[in-house]
Structure 1
């Protein structure tokens, strides 16, 4: 039986663990009191950003050991699990509404990007051949696929968003930051929760968790989550609602307390998404420098096509090709913590898999131009981390070793339909009038990646005095990537499309789907390091300064390469150099008024040489954009996390970020659509003004000084909650009212800034009104995007440069009711 099938079965069977008899056992008499305190703390609403609560302290593991959040000299945003549940932040995409320094963009789960401070991965279609600049960790296990960020959070206790390079403490080197997700762990005290939600758009969600002893030294925990919602768009071509939610996840854990010095935890999880997704809406058109008869209006008129709606917030798509976004992941992890001498030795062994079964309409309209577009992927990943942390009095240290192996196999196809000839072949060519020329033209793709990474890392904290601490860290890293790309193209007659043929039909066909095959390898060693000095100005005010010399591993292009005049792939573009990162940061973490007011501020500057940027090749035969190195990029700014909790009755928070993220030098960037599509300018020839039909286009553009895509200059999140003691239906508790808002200023939605893809800023408001009983009941009504703000998450320019602009509208107003119970 395939190990992936075993994981699915094991994760599901974990729900059948017989807790009932185990609950009757007597636990350590000191544990219930401690556990009850923990549960009371978990029910207290935390402040987003600082994570502050009314009682006790927020403990984080940002430095791979438990510490007060305010004692950690790192810019870190903390969001408690209860706030995630209350605000409907069911995945990383929603989490960005609570943490303004985080950016998440997704046209489908496969093509998702998570950035911090505007850097991490290139904005646009994902390329398997590069690393993520933001690491996602769940209970210390590294998730290499950003697709995991689209799944529902499952039984989450706390999320820490770490900003800045994290290479000397974390298994996988990450240059922009890390999202550290901690789930609730097995308990020897019986506890559980059940939550159910209903809402408009036929929204249904159920979450459940159960934990308790299975013996004197064995405890277990199971959790599951299911959510389903109708789509937010209607597909005119089929009448179906699309862009749905359909998520199911289950997680099981066993904790073996082998001795007072050794704990071993086995975790199994499995999650699956199966929505009809993912579509876009028509936003408009913009003039390019193509001849007028090759721009959208003329091409559509030639086939008597009209979009069903020119108002994007009518939420009407028109997609005639099949849509699918089946996304499945799972895995197993074995974590052992052993008290050895003055410290703790931790071993984390994990295997994860990811299956992606997509289908898209790549022409974005209801004409049969591209009738099939799907590149299903299969991934297996193996990680091993060993880490020793110790408190040696004046010195704390963390030493670690990390190994990572990833294997990705993609076998997909793209097929053209009867409308392709007139749309894709120049009207001056008589073949454009023959629908049979391109109908049935098919590219069959075979894409492979083998990715190996190994590292040694360590960090030392030397408490020079009671107030001054210096913290050097170092990392030695080796990376190797082996890639293979092959696209075989055949026409409807079964003929193999080659560059050797001079047949006019074959020439026209390979101008749309070009065959290509290449192998490439990248390998490199890197040494990175950082140094932090922190000074305790008072017991509640900590100042720190950090310098980090970091890197992001080089990569390989696995989405096709530009070709020379003979159709040969330009192998010089097959790999991209590593990013070299210089990071500077200063910050202050402070608490005032008896720790009721928490204010954390950080200023940063990150300079990146050889920034890995996504280029969009004008050749239709290249299925995706490809990567190249921009000379220099800089992201700099200031961040503030502020929370005020004057009493248990009221709390408020404000988090803000200002970011100036620009290409400092990128002289040979691809041009935006309004400067593309015309005759390439000869040396000394002056290009035409933007949007000049049949114009002269520059070969490339200098976008130095322009903003990076996907990042707003200003971003804020803010909220408050007030509660009042009441007795409801004979139960004592608190009536509460909460508000959470977020604002992002405008941002570019194209790698080369374009006036056609500038997304306007927007403000979102969420409200909740409910009752929390002292016995664990929580009942509340909620409304999200309460004022029905009409906004785009992303705008896109489809390939071919016809001037078509499509977009992904954000969720409309949603509302519903949630009831939950914890014991």
Structure 2
């Protein structure tokens, strides 16, 4: 029954850069600074290891961006982090505004369907977000964002193969604080954010943040007259803190986001093969008609994502060395989405989609910190349900249309115990060891059927005729794993630390709701777990009398049984035309990913500073089995540019009783392949983005006025695509040669005014 609910480049250049930076860390510049002014970079604190530490003391690859720095830079959502953080790709998932596609060091998940968990873990105040819907967070009310690269599992609630992104919101103040920030810019961008924190008593305080983000589209829908790439998001966050004494704290929080932006349809590089509709002259325009056609009448052509969550955290300091922590949370999201694969007024290949997700998690931690010992012991439980229902309407293949319906729910019941112990062997040597044991139980209830008619009964077409059921099964499988970690660090001096370590990441298998178990019974067995072994060495150095920081990490990853989902057209009646589709999940045999990552900060003068970062990656499949045939020579790892470089220049000076900050930055990314099989129509060649800003803050920090410009050279760059056409695609579906491409924002600019009440 339907369920309701190019050849690889050597790393020689990268190694050369690293050698120069290592030499710089010990260069004569250090000894020559006695005559220089006494100013230095500010210390950056992180909680990457579950305790507050100087970033330079943490022997892992982690980047921390403070809320104030993000505020001054005018960062609008977390995808902008990918411009400056090495080895990171963050994009809106195809045809969406707030569904996140995240990759770190070649590890991620392209498809947001039920049954697939992300390779990069996203945390909102230590709460793991199990699904990508609603995970593309706008940046507001944030204290800092930390990005940890490489496997994570002995310190955090959920095991992560590729890395973790921690979005940390601001603590409430024990004094009254409030602020209002308004922005207006190109494409009628109109944003408004208001925040307030109120101490009710000496021990109890409450706070709220309300945010509205609005913008006209970068392009037009030439058929409906509607918007393309517009933004219509409203969100709010409520919080409360009770701190009866310095040893006990309870934090309560609730957040809600409603995204009513228009459905995004891709640009067609080719005219319609049947309709003859020409390709739009502007890459941000479309002729998509799915939102007003009968193909999506089952959801009334609606495109909306609603997400909400609550959390309750308790910190109890039993003594000066022991802390107990509890994090209890629940999240839900509901999506109705219009996907127009053909991007035409033709009903050739349209899909109404419903995602319905919910989760509950409980985490307990015991923290023990002394002068030489630091211990984290934890227990984590996750109960999650991910459901999706969608039609694939192929309106031109039969009189009245042909529809493939998929409905499924995948449930996760998981528990794990983890621990991480750091021992200061001497004043300079430090050893960390950790491990995690996980049991993941996955259960699935899947139905797929092919109907004659435009739409299935689930989406309101009661007259649809069931031609054949292609899947109808329930299945259950439990996955077990133990993942270890070890790290050894040595402080060459008080300002230079080297480290080396090994860590293992693991992600359970699951079930593909799009698989056809009648044709392929193995679908009922699900797909296998994936495992990544990572070795890393690095250096963290502070030099030039505290005016310079250089961090370097080199890593090698052996990636086994990599989970790769996809969809292919199927010719069910043998007439030479694909009239349905089937989901595929490949546990690719093996891949290897290695690279070098560089980050730095230079305070050149008291007024002039520079930030830089770079990554140079070598990622390739060593084995990729399709059936019993190894096709690794014809496959590449997706969303993983070989090189990335970022340079930011800042100049600040006194002006009108306040401070004027002038910033310009440039980010460069190498060639990006959207899927494992190359397609020149949707893949992106190397490109760069230039941004600039001028920000004035008053001396009393009440006022901020900023002018921001993004993508000033108006670079045209692809972020995603669908390849179901007859020109260079691995599989075709529909009759209109259906290849569509999505693009990043063009040149934009805006003015921000903020006032802080204190």
Give the TM-score normalised by the residue count of structure 1. 0.80
Give yes or no for the alignment of 1:795 onto 2:727.
no
Alpha-carbon separation, structure 2, partners of 1:411 and 1:707: 31
| Structure 2 contact 604–610 (Cα < 8 Å) conserved | no
1:593 to 544, 548, 553: 544
Alpha-carbon separation, structure 2, partners of 1:246 and 1:701: 46
1:256 to 242, 250, 253: 242
The residue aligned with 1:516 is: 471
Cα deviation code 1:71-117 (max 9, x no counterpart): 00110011121232333432222221222321123213476421101
Cα distance, 1:706 vs. partner? Answer: 4.4
2:559 to 608, 616, 635: 608
Cα deviation code 1:151-199 (max 9, x no counterpart): 3123011001000111000000001110011111111122222211000
Structure 2 CA distance for partners of 1:379 and 1:244, relative to 1, 3 Å: same
3-state SS in 1 of match to 2:341: coil
Structure 2 CA distance for partners of 1:274 and 1:412, relative to 1, 3 Å: same
Structure 2 CA distance for partners of 1:621 and 1:141, relative to 1, 3 Å: farther
3-state SS in 1 of match to 2:303: strand
The residue aligned with 2:593 is: 635
Alpha-carbon separation, structure 2, partners of 1:400 and 1:146: 25
Cα distance, 1:444 vs. partner? Answer: 4.1
Cα distance, 1:761 vs. partner? Answer: 1.2
| Structure 2 contact 407–513 (Cα < 8 Å) conserved | no
Structure 2 CA distance for partners of 1:494 and 1:349, relative to 1, 3 Å: closer
Correspondences of 1:802-817 after superposition (within 5 Å)? 804-817=738-751
| Structure 1 contact 185–253 (Cα < 8 Å) conserved | no
The residue aligned with 2:529 is: 578
Structure 2 CA distance for partners of 1:493 and 1:166, relative to 1, 3 Å: closer
3-state SS in 2 of match to 1:571: helix
Alpha-carbon separation, structure 1, partners of 2:453 and 2:535: 58
Correspondences of 1:57-136 after superposition (within 5 Å)? 57-105=43-91, 106-109=93-96, 112-121=100-109, 123=110, 125-136=111-122
Correspondences of 1:243-642 after superposition (within 5 Å)? 243-284=229-270, 300=272, 303-309=274-280, 311=281, 313=283, 315-322=284-291, 324-341=302-319, 342-370=321-349, 372-417=350-395, 420-421=396-397, 437-492=398-453, 515-561=470-516, 568-572=519-523, 574-619=525-570, 620=578, 623=581, 625-642=583-600
Alpha-carbon separation, structure 2, partners of 1:83 and 1:352: 29
Structure 2 CA distance for partners of 1:818 and 1:151, relative to 1, 3 Å: same
Structure 2 CA distance for partners of 1:373 and 1:212, relative to 1, 3 Å: same
Cα distance, 1:804 vs. partner? Answer: 4.0
3-state SS in 2 of match to 1:616: strand
3-state SS in 2 of match to 1:625: strand
Moved more, 781-790 or 527-536: 781-790
Alpha-carbon separation, structure 1, partners of 2:303 and 2:60: 37
Cα distance, 1:361 vs. partner? Answer: 1.4
Alpha-carbon separation, structure 1, partners of 2:624 and 2:451: 38
3-state SS in 2 of match to 1:599: strand
Structure 2 CA distance for partners of 1:163 and 1:602, relative to 1, 3 Å: same
Cα deviation code 1:356-398 (max 9, x no counterpart): 111221333231223x522212111000000111113321111
Give the TM-score normalised by the residue count of structure 2. 0.86
Structure 2 CA distance for partners of 1:493 and 1:607, relative to 1, 3 Å: closer
| Structure 2 contact 95–266 (Cα < 8 Å) conserved | no
Q: Which stretches in structure 1 are left out of the alignment for 5+ residues?
A: 1-52, 285-296, 422-436, 497-504, 670-698
3-state SS in 2 of match to 1:534: strand
2:212 to 226, 236, 242: 226
| Structure 2 contact 341–722 (Cα < 8 Å) conserved | no
The residue aligned with 2:575 is: none
Structure 2 CA distance for partners of 1:623 and 1:158, relative to 1, 3 Å: farther
1:719 to 637, 643, 648: 648
Moved more, 485-494 or 515-524: 485-494
| Structure 2 contact 665–691 (Cα < 8 Å) conserved | yes
Alpha-carbon separation, structure 2, partners of 1:585 and 1:413: 45
2:612 to 654, 663, 681: 654
Alpha-carbon separation, structure 2, partners of 1:243 and 1:183: 28
The residue aligned with 1:684 is: none
Cα distance, 1:445 vs. partner? Answer: 3.5
Give yes or no for the alignment of 1:768 onto 2:693.
yes
Alpha-carbon separation, structure 1, partners of 2:58 and 2:452: 61
Alpha-carbon separation, structure 2, partners of 1:312 and 1:542: 51
Structure 2 CA distance for partners of 1:700 and 1:312, relative to 1, 3 Å: farther
Cα deviation code 1:59-79 (max 9, x no counterpart): 100001111111001100111
Cα distance, 1:238 vs. partner? Answer: 1.0
The residue aligned with 2:15 is: none
Structure 2 CA distance for partners of 1:452 and 1:712, relative to 1, 3 Å: same
Structure 2 CA distance for partners of 1:308 and 1:752, relative to 1, 3 Å: closer
Cα distance, 1:126 vs. partner? Answer: 2.6
Alpha-carbon separation, structure 2, partners of 1:126 and 1:305: 32
Structure 2 CA distance for partners of 1:203 and 1:701, relative to 1, 3 Å: farther
3-state SS in 2 of match to 1:281: coil
| Structure 2 contact 210–236 (Cα < 8 Å) conserved | yes
Alpha-carbon separation, structure 2, partners of 1:493 and 1:405: 36
Structure 2 CA distance for partners of 1:413 and 1:805, relative to 1, 3 Å: closer
| Structure 1 contact 307–318 (Cα < 8 Å) conserved | no
| Structure 2 contact 237–254 (Cα < 8 Å) conserved | yes
1:665 to 616, 620, 623: 623
Cα distance, 1:789 vs. partner? Answer: 1.0
Structure 2 CA distance for partners of 1:583 and 1:369, relative to 1, 3 Å: same
Structure 2 CA distance for partners of 1:365 and 1:268, relative to 1, 3 Å: same
| Structure 1 contact 552–579 (Cα < 8 Å) conserved | yes
The residue aligned with 1:22 is: none
Cα deviation code 1:520-562 (max 9, x no counterpart): 222111011010001011001111101113321112112233x
Alpha-carbon separation, structure 1, partners of 2:580 and 2:82: 33
3-state SS in 1 of match to 2:133: helix
1:757 to 667, 677, 682: 682
Structure 2 CA distance for partners of 1:230 and 1:385, relative to 1, 3 Å: same
Alpha-carbon separation, structure 1, partners of 2:455 and 2:655: 76
Cα distance, 1:131 vs. partner? Answer: 2.2
Alpha-carbon separation, structure 1, partners of 2:148 and 2:639: 19
